[in-house]
Chain A
Amino acid sequence: MADENQRSQTGPLKTVTVLGIEVVIYALFLALLLMPGGEILIVEVLLLLAALFYLRRNPALRTQIQELFAANARAAWIGGIAMMLLVPFFVASSPYWLFIIIIAGLFLVACLGLNLQLGSTGMVNLAPAAFYAVGAYTAGLLALGWGLPAWITLPAGAIMAGLFSAFLFIPVLKTTGHYLALVTLAFQFMVTILLDNMEWTGGPQGLKNIPLFSIAGYSFNTDINLGFIVLPAYANFYYLMLLIVAAVGIASLRIYNSWVGVTLSTIRDDEIAAQTFGVQVNRWKLIIFSLGNCFIGLAGAFYSHLVGFISPPNFAFDKSLVMVSVVILGGMDNVFGVVLGSLLLIILPEKLRVVQEYRFLIYGVVLIVMLIFRPRGLLPFKPRDFSDLVEAAKRKRAIPAGSEAAEGRA
């Protein structure tokens, strides 16, 4: 049955349909960035709502689309990646939007870390921006003070954020309930106040003239001239960001789809049950809290080499709120949900420049509405399905059994 279904969903026509859907979404996204004025936003929001409403009324169509994408996963991925790679070409004329997309990518990396903590394990971290600051200042200080290159400062920022969380939070992780949320909140304000008052971090002026990325003598601050088109310098950062997003995204997906994911979900849903089945809850919380903050620190380090100038307000509590909102809005414990959340909450507000002052009011309203109507986010947690993994393992075992029969059977 399932097999038959699978077959009817493949074939050149189906592949074209999948790519077609992707192209339409992509085009709408680019139009949103490139068309001036707010009308396009209104049109697209209405389109989106109409589409959501229609899909809601037709669950059959929804499952059909899901199956279509599942059956043509490879084509869908290749198409998606190609489109990602082409973004700088389409927005070459407005580096500003490329910059915003890079920022969205950095938020995505940070929010994937936060999602590991908040979404997967249920640890409320209200200080992601503070760990972002740890990464950013570590990278900035190392680059300014010792002239260390980016390939050292990036991991250093990540590791420093991880170490901070390990040392500061060991005592807290043992407590249960809301202590962690409160302590992270205190940490958030402590970090902003310290950054404001310490000499060696530049005080309120922050760090200036942090060298931008350069790898093997190639400065990221140069435009890419391809002859037929000149990509703005931000394209360099964009591709590096894409690489990091891919690495962190794949790691997150793989963690979710493993024993670790099962363990974290159990800790989130019922700590007592987890302990009773042999889970070292405190150990896992520490590992995940640190790992999540490593991701956040990595994004922060990238940020300081992207903008070259960091100061305390960049890492204030409002940034933490945005990151928490991304995870809650997008979908707890769902990597794709976090992607969607970052796109919506970082890129849309830029389009809403007019209402900039009300930005946090809008965040607040969106969050409250979400918590009432879709408390699990736009793309909620999906039960894990290990069958792909198991099938892959079986196929792998079947091939050597055929070609090297003796060894395979033994």
Chain B
Amino acid sequence: MENNRIFWTKDLSISFGGLVAVDHVNIDIARGEVLGLIGPNGSGKTTIFNIITGIYTPTDGDFFFEGESLLGKPPYEIARKGIARTFQISRLCLDLSVLDNVFIGMHYRQKHWLIDAVFRRDLLAREVSEARDRAFSLLSVFNKELVGLAGVPVGALPQIDRRRVEICRAMAMEPRLLLLDEPSAGMTLEEMTELMEDIRKVQEESKEISIIIVEHDMTVIRSISDRVVALNYGRKIAEGTCEEVSHNTEVREAYLGKRGIKI
């Protein structure tokens, strides 16, 4: 486990003014593992993702990916190391086509930029055609119909397909660590079941990938995560298998009265 771990944090903390949103959190994740991150509203789950992707700088502590500290690195550099994410509130570009949205996930692997775009269209064309094939094969993993809709603005798609495009965009980066922030938010039970299958497909596509998934729904967590970490008021209050964590008294108290959650 120790040698196999791909990502870990060391006393990760951040405060906004007086509010301590993340408080000395230590988590780690092994290669190929799915880690569930749970906690009541406002317990700091999204904030941890924002720190990991470099959007926020922690006020204390450090975090490591493949043995290297990412502290203070800008988001684009962290992305290039191999960490991709989806957002709790979808951040797709709704006016852009499905294809364009997936293309941005391949951004930093693309070779032909301004000069080639203007003067060497043949080189660009070859690269675009390869990238498009790759995008199509990614999209068809989730929903075959998305391939036919590749030219449609994302804003015209139903919620579930938008989530899929968002996951495709993240997968297009070929990340080694994938952060999913409440992928099931606002979905019906059926859509959620489909989505869980989609995420399993992601794992099948790439066995090596490690996933941290934030979820409120315990059925989702139970069915896909290998291990669970529970947060409350920015602190880690429990860690273990899904069963262990859901029977933990502190976790039960944390959720009590907060949100009618089935544990």
Give residues in A with beta carbon < 8 Å to B: 250-251, 254-255, 257-263, 265-266, 269-270, 272-281, 287, 291, 381, 383-387, 389-390, 392-394, 396-397
Contact = CB atoms under 8 A, between A and B. Distances in A.
Interface of B: 53-55, 74-76, 79-80, 84-85, 87, 91-97, 99-100, 103-105, 107-108, 110, 112-114, 116-118, 121-122, 124-129, 132, 151-153, 169, 173
Contact of A258 (B80, B97, B117): B117
Residue among A270, A287, A383, A389 with the highest chain B CB neighbour number at 10 A: A383
Nearest to A395: B125
A277 B104 contact: yes
B121 A259 contact: no
Nearest 9 CB-CB pairings of A with B: A258-B117, A393-B125, A278-B79, A269-B93, A275-B75, A278-B108, A383-B97, A273-B91, A390-B129
B117 A254 contact: yes
Contacts of A277: 79, 84, 104-105, 107-108, 169, 173
Contact of B114 (A260, A272, A281, A384): A260
Nearest to B75: A275
A255 B117 contact: yes
Contacts of A272: 55, 75, 91
A396 B125 CA distance: 10
A122 to B, nearest CB: 11
B95 A381 contact: yes
B129 A262 contact: no
B103 A259 contact: yes
Given A275-B79, A277-B79, A277-B84, A392 B95 contact: no
A212 B23 CA distance: 70
Given A275-B76, A275-B79, A277-B169, A270 B91 contact: yes
A269 B76 CA distance: 17
B124 A279 contact: no
Contact of A278 (B107, B118, B128): B107
16 contacts: A258-B112, A259-B113, A259-B117, A263-B107, A269-B96, A270-B91, A272-B55, A275-B54, A276-B53, A276-B79, A278-B76, A291-B114, A383-B96, A385-B151, A389-B125, A393-B126
Nearest to A255: B117
A261 B126 CA distance: 17
Chain B binding surface, main DSSP class: helix
A313 B144 CA distance: 60
B77 to A, nearest CB: 8
B118 A280 contact: no
Contacts of A385: 97, 151
Nearest to B49: A276
Contact of A389 (B87, B104, B116, B128): B128
B122 to A, nearest CB: 7
A258 B129 CA distance: 12
B180 to A, nearest CB: 13
Contacts of A280: 76
Contacts of A389: 121, 124-125, 128-129
A158 B168 CA distance: 41
A397 to B, nearest CB: 8
Contacts of B84: 276-277
A274 B105 CA distance: 9
A390 B93 contact: no
Contacts of B79: 275-278
A337 B45 CA distance: 44
Nearest to B110: A259
Contacts of B93: 265-266, 269-270, 273
Nearest to B100: A262
A266 B87 CA distance: 15
Contact of A259 (B124, B153, B169): B124
Given A275-B75, A275-B79, A393 B100 contact: no
Contacts of A259: 103, 107, 110, 112-113, 117, 124, 127-128
B95 A269 contact: yes
A295 to B, nearest CB: 13
Contacts of B94: 269
Nearest to B83: A276
A278 B125 contact: no
A276 B153 CA distance: 21
Nearest to B96: A265
Contacts of B95: 265, 269, 381, 383
A265 B127 CA distance: 19
For A251, A254, A259, A390, which residue has the most chain B Cβ atoms within 10 angstroms? A259
B100 A383 contact: yes
Contacts of B113: 259-260
A279 B79 CA distance: 9
B41 to A, nearest CB: 21
Contacts of B173: 277-278
Contact of B122 (A251, A261, A287, A396): A396
Contacts of B118: 250-251, 254-255
B19 to A, nearest CB: 21
Most buried by A among B75, B127, B132, B151: B75
A397 B87 CA distance: 39
B117 A279 contact: no
Among A258, A281, A385, A397, the most chain B Cβ lie within 10 Å of the Cβ of A258
Contacts of A276: 53, 55, 75, 79, 84-85, 91
B76 A393 contact: no
